[in-house]
Structure 1
Amino acid sequence: MPLSPGRAIVLATALAVAAVPAPSPPRTWVEPVTGMPFVSIPAGTFEMGSPEREAGREPQERAHAVTLTRPFWIGAHEVTQAQWRTVMGTAPSHFRGDDLPVERVSWHDVQAFVARLSALSPGPRFRLPTEAEWEYACRAGSRTAYAWGDTLSLEEANVAVLERGALGGRRRTTPVATFRPNAWGLYDMHGNVWEWTEDAHCAYGTAPARDPVGRCNAATKVIRGGSWYFAADSARCGLRYTHRPKDVGFSLGVRVVRDVG
């Protein structure tokens, strides 16, 4: 059964970006076909990428100013298996459970999902988040490695512990919204399953950007957020990872957004 709803800006200088204040409480909406809860995200400007001082930072995470000119709705949590089955009539996941996140879905699969959901649910279209939208929502006004600070514990997210080549931690997905949300009311932005974005894996520019979408001729798509199968450093807000759009895996899922009408 679908989950209940309960589980359910401006540049300061050329070198500094004003933090976006977290709405309190967040404005929410529940999609009636699936029961999927959404949170309203305001337009704003933020610093995308990671500061040079951040542990684990990679060159492709170069910090730069990004402005999102339109508000959007984003899923309060990852798409569950029950919600996927309601829309697609299939059960592709390795781990089974209605309130577990759907996984083993490709970028092409999730494009079919949002198209079908858009047809079932009248109003503005559903789609994948852009890479910029995803990071903006994940940070929720923060500038640290994770939404709550520069460290991430097993009590805060479903991530792996890798020691001497062995996989530790929970070793599987957990029900969505198990852990506390970020300041904007979003669950599992760190860990559980990787989340597809709309973007191809393009290099960041150096100039401020407005509503960027990766449209380069790259063979891979960007995924974000880390997973139960990867260590905490892979779940940093600014980390970029990739897969081919045809790939599936037991730690690869999706969170969707909806345009504001």
Structure 2
Amino acid sequence: MTGTHTRQPLLSRRKLFALGGAGAAGLLGTALALQATATPAHGRRPRPATSPSTSSSTTASPSASTSASASADASAATTVAGQTLVEVPANPSFVFATDLSNNAGAGEASAIASAYSLGAYEVTNAQYKAFLDDSSRTAPSYWDGDDFPSGKDEHPVLYVSLEDAEAYCDWLTDQADGWTFRLPSEAEWENAARGPDAYAYPWGDTAGTTYASGVLTSKYNYNAVCAAYYLANYGSTEATYDNKNSTRYGESEPISDIIAVTSTGGVSGWIDHTTWTGFVYTDVFDELTANGGNTSAVGAYPGGVSSYGAYDMAGNCFEWTSSIITATNGGEAGQQVNAVRGGSWYATGRSCATSYRGEGRDGSGIYLTVGIRVAADQS
């Protein structure tokens, strides 16, 4: 390697994920906020009755129509058992936007006969801790014992199995007189994300993501957010391929030689399953995931709010649904699993579209990209 590249000792790099109390995601918000001249919003989530601001560090200012719509819907939100809920109307004529097998053409009909409520936010680490404190279930593996990482109280909880998620819903039901909490079906999830205008993204038909002069502008948290942060702040730092299956095992190179972001927010060099190379197969990425990954505080991207007032239905973390599908993507392809929807901080932009299907996970497993959004019905 040339002398212009630096390799930080592992100890120094580990400090990166502890600084600011929120790990890499918190620093990511701060660094990109300075570049985008916006205020980071990786702390408390916005109050439901307040119009979305431009506080998200990597988000362009939402349009007036988006802000007005979100404000109107959020003002009707209800808080039950500590969960902020928004109402989604029935849709007896609901049809999936795409076919499950190939994400093309119209999918099957799945009538939604009754109105239902949906969590305005993904379930946070702090909310899940209250449940754990009142149960005997095991804390997620990225926590330090019974405590979530410092500064990540408002980040979505990850590494929760389907059974964990269902137990959490049952716990909420026990506290909520006249309400039953559950996981949404896949149809309910997509119906809520697409909204009455059947948007391709929760906020509209275009992603609107741009990357120029090292600054990413995005309405949602997906893998380009992570890539842009490392390029802007640690591009010359060398990462080492540490998976023994990798064709480059033990080799190191600057992060800027591994990943790149296109002008529209596409990412290259993120992962190569055939050679076990890419950013995902490096020691730097391993350290990031040990702290719960590059999630952001729920509601930190107000420009991405849905028509019904739900935040982070694109990116941040995949969300369990109650529906069983035959997965068509990833390592679960061909298996009967529970559908997960919405994309994540790890996912490509394509996976975050409201119509994207085929991602599923074994309900007994725990995953660094899968969390919970509750649904609820009032008796």
Structure-1-length-normalised TM-score: 0.77
Q: Superposition pairs for residues 187-226 of structure 1, below 5 Å? A: 187-201=311-325, 219-226=336-343
Larger radius of gyration: 2
What does residue 98 of structure 2 align with? 50
Cα offsets for 1:122-152 (capped at 9, x unmatched): 2221000000000000001233421211335
Aligned counterpart, 1:211: none
2:311 alignment partner AA: Y
Corresponding residue of 1:236: 353
Partner secondary structure for residue 297 of structure 2: coil
CA distance in 1, matches of 2:163, 2:297: 24
**What residue in structure 1 maps to residue 219 of structure 2?**
156
* Structure that is richer in helix per residue: 2
Question: Aligned-pair distance for 1:62?
Answer: 4.1
Q: Does 1:6 align with 2:123?
A: no
Shift of the 233–59 alpha-carbon distance from structure 1 to 2, 3 Å rule, reads: closer
Give RMSD over aligned pairs: 3.0
Aligned residue for 1:46, secondary structure, equals coil
1:239 CA displacement: 1.5
Contact 1:190 1:225 in 2 (8 A): yes
Q: TM-score, normalised by structure 2?
A: 0.54
Mapped contact 1:198–1:222 kept (Cα < 8 A)? yes
**Residues 142-175 of structure 1: CA deviation (Å, up to 9, x unaligned):** 334212113353520000133123459x960000
With over 3 angstroms needed to count, the CA separation of the structure-2 counterparts of 1:93 and 1:186, relative to structure 1, is: farther
What's the CA shift for 1:88? Answer: 2.5
Q: Which amino acid aligns with 1:122?
A: D
Moved more, 67-76 or 116-125: 116-125
Cα separation, 1, equivalents of 2:192 and 2:102: 21
Q: How far apart are 1:107 and its partner, in Å?
A: 0.6
Distance 2:354 2:190 in 1: 6
| Consecutive unaligned residues in structure 2, runs of 5 or more | 1-42, 51-68, 143-147, 210-216, 225-266, 271-277, 281-287, 328-334
Letter in 2 for 1:30: T
Higher share in strand: 1
Alpha-carbon separation, structure 2, partners of 1:237 and 1:146: 5
- Summarize the Cα distance change of 1:120–1:144 in structure 2 as closer, same or farther, 3 Å threshold: closer
2:297 to 146, 162, 175: 175
Q: Which moved more, 1:251-260 or 1:147-156?
A: 147-156
Paired residues of 1:152 and 1:232 also in contact (CA < 8 A) = no
Deviation for aligned residue 1:6: 3.2
Tell me the secondary structure at the aligned position of residue 72 of structure 2.
Answer: coil
Describe the shift of the 1:50–1:143 C-alpha distance in structure 2 as closer, same or farther (beyond 3 A): farther
Residue 86 of structure 1: CA displacement?
1.3
Alpha-carbon shift at residue 238 of structure 1 (Å)? 1.6
Identity percentage over the alignment?
Answer: 29
Q: Is the 8 A contact 2:319 2:340 kept in 1?
A: yes
Tell me: CA distance 1:61–1:30, structure 2 relative to 1, closer, same or farther (3 Å): farther
Letter in 2 for 1:158: N
Provide the residue aligned with 2:198 in structure 1. 143
**Displacement after TM superposition at 1:202 (Å):** 5.0
Q: Is the 8 A contact 1:42 1:70 kept in 2?
A: yes
Moved more, 194-203 or 90-99: 90-99
Match of 2:233 in 1: none
State the alpha-carbon separation in 2 of the partners of residues 128 and 111 from structure 1. Answer: 7
Q: Which residue of 2 aligns with 1:122?
A: 177
